[in-house]
Chain A
Amino acid sequence: EVQLLESGGGLVQPGGSLRLSCAASGFSFSDYAMSWVRQTPGKGLEWVSGIRGSGGDTYYADSVKGRFTISRDNSKNMLYLHMNSLRGEDTATYYCAKDWCSGLCSYFDYWGQGTLVTVSS
Chain B
Amino acid sequence: QSALTQPASVSGSPGQSITISCTGTNSDIGGNKYVSWYQQHPGKAPKFLIYDVSNRPSGVSNRFSGSKSGNTASLTISGLQAEDEADYYCSSYRRSGTLVFGTGTKVTVL
Contact = CB atoms under 8 A, between A and B. Distances in A.
Contacts of B40: 45
A45 B89 contact: yes
Contacts of B91: 45, 47, 106
Contacts of B48: 100, 107-109
Interface string A68-105: 00000000000000000000000000010000100011
Interface residues of A, number: 26
Contact of A63 (B1, B45, B103): B1
Contacts, number: 62
> How many interface residues does chain B have, given as a range?
20 to 34
A45 B57 contact: no
A114 B40 CA distance: 13
A50 B99 CA distance: 9
A62 to B, nearest CB: 5
B103 A44 contact: yes
Interface string B33-57: 0101010100001101001000001
A35 interface: yes
